[in-house]
Amino acid sequence: MPNIKSAKKRVLIAERNALRNTSMKSALRTTIRKFETSYSAQDVELSKETLQNALRALDKAVTKGLIHKNAAARKKSRLTKRFNALANNG
């Protein structure tokens, strides 16, 4: 445990940020999972809506520093590719 007042404050801030990051990453994974379930149900309209939510959540995660921009771009590309395959076949 730190003895210096500013170091003690930093520990508290780090814990608070870690808690926030954990909950935000969990919410991000939930939005992606919602798309996955609508995709597996072969529901084009619901998939389109959930895809838009997932893409928006990924963009927000990048601006908040939760994930790297290239990781978000990769996930967005893969999700969109899956949706396009569903939309073209269905």
Query: In the predicted model, what is the mean pLDDT of residues 34-60?
Result: 96
C-alpha–C-alpha distance, residues 4 and 85, integer Å: 57
C-alpha–C-alpha distance, residues 12 and 28, integer Å: 24
Query: In the predicted model, what is the mean pLDDT of residues 71-90?
Result: 93
pLDDT at site 1? 81
Which residue matches tokens 């895809």?
51
Residue environment code for 32-49, b if the CB has 16+ CB neighbours within 10 A, otherwise e: bebbeebbeeeebeebee
Range of the domain at 83: 5-89
Question: How confident is the model over 11-25, as pLDDT tens digits?
Answer: 999 999 999 999 999
The total number of structural domains in the chain stands at 1
Percent of the chain with pLDDT over 70: 99
pLDDT at site 89? 81
pLDDT at site 90? 62
**pTM of the complete model:** 0.86
CATH number of the domain that residue 52 is part of: 1.20.58.110
Strands (E), 9-62: none
